[in-house]
């Protein structure tokens, strides 16, 4: 009996937390016909520096879950995504373009159920844009190469930045590295992988 009670308490706590932090919004399912003020499809294409595909083309290259998050601004469920509790050493790259975005060195346990970082891997990779959807003022993050939505950044993170980049696992791909010393080399190698993937996407965009 007490186990059930505990489960209920934990569930209520988690639901309250989510509702406090996301305005109760869990997925696009609650948002009919884009009524929440978030245009779908090409919404992000204006800010993409390298890759601009049509909605149909994005649906070809992304999984439905990736599309829902990256192109339609969905938010995946907390604690039910691949990287919220990922502790291995490595880098996190854009699920669409392979662009290196975050390092395990900057990942911290936020307790939110989403992968959280104190900063991006380097400047100029993760874009910021004020997001006033759902009656809130938040700062949204996107991949500068494809404009794909990644998550939001909040000012309640730990040292050294005091920032909390709250990301969706669906927008990321984790590349494990042997050790912390290997991270710079992994970033360099991934930049080449990303350049190839971006070229492929540009070909698709042009076809």
Q: How far is the CB of 150 from Zn ion (least distance, A)?
A: 8
Question: 78 or 100: whose CB is closer to Zn ion?
Answer: 100
Task: Dump the DSSP string for the chain.
Answer: -HHHHHHHHHHHHHHHHHHHHHTT---GGG-GGGTTS---SGGGGGG-SS----HHHHHHHS-HHHHHHHTT---PPTTSSTTTT--SSEEEEETTT--EEEEGGGEE--SSSS-EESS-SSTTSEEEEEE-GGG--EEEEEETTT--EEEEEES---TTT--EEEE-GGGEEEEE-SSGGGHHHHHHHHHHHHHHHHHHHHHHHH-
Q: How far is the CB of 143 from Zn ion (least distance, A)?
A: 3
Contact letters (x/-) for Zn ion, 96-135, by CB under 5 A? xx-x------------------------------------
| Cβ contact 141:94 at 8 Å | no
φ, ψ (nearest 5 deg) of residue 31: -115, 100
Q: How far is the CB of 28 from Zn ion (least distance, A)?
A: 20
Q: Segment near Zn ion (CB under 5 A), from 12-20, 90-98, 132-140, 195-203? A: 90-98
Question: 124 or 160: whose CB is closer to Zn ion?
Answer: 124
Residue in 76, 131, 145, 173 binding Zn ion, rule: CB under 5 A: 145
Q: List the catalytic residues.
A: 166
* 146 is a contact residue toward Zn ion (CB under 5 A): yes
* 48 is a contact residue toward Zn ion (CB under 5 A): no
- Residue 185 CA to residue 100 CA, distance in Å, equals 12
Q: Segment near Zn ion (CB under 5 A), from 132-140, 145-153, 167-175, 187-195? A: 145-153
Q: How far is the CB of 51 from Zn ion (least distance, A)?
A: 7
Question: 99 or 116: whose CB is closer to Zn ion?
Answer: 99
* 175 is a contact residue toward Zn ion (CB under 5 A): no
Maximum pairwise Cα distance, the chain? 61
Residue in 53, 69, 94, 150 binding Zn ion, rule: CB under 5 A: 94
Contact residues for Zn ion (CB under 5 A)? 94, 96-97, 99, 143, 145-146, 148
């Amino acid at each position: 009996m007490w186990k059930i009670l505990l489960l209920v308490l934990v569930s209520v706590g988690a639901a309250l937390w989510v509702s406090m932090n996301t305005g109760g919004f869990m997925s696009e399912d609650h948002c009919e016909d884009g009524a929440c003020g978030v245009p779908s499809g090409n919404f992000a294409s204006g800010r993409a520096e390298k890759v601009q595909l049509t909605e149909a083309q994005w649906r070809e290259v992304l999984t439905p879950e990736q599309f829902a998050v990256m192109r339609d601004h969905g938010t995946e469920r907390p604690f039910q995504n691949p990287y919220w509790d990922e502790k291995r050493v490595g880098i996190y790259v854009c699920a669409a373009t392979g662009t290196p975005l975050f390092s395990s060195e900057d990942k911290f346990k936020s307790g939110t159920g989403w992968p959280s970082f104190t900063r991006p891997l380097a400047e100029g990779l993760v874009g910021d844009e004020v997001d006033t959807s759902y009656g809130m003022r938040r700062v949204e993050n996107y991949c500068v190469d494809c404009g794909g939505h990644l998550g939001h950044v909040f000012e309640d993170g730990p040292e050294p930045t005091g920032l909390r980049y709250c990301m969706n696992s669906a927008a990321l791909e984790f590349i494990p590295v042997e050790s912390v010393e290997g991270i710079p080399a992994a970033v360099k190698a991934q930049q080449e992988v990303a350049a190839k993937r971006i070229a492929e996407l540009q070909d698709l965009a042009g076809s």
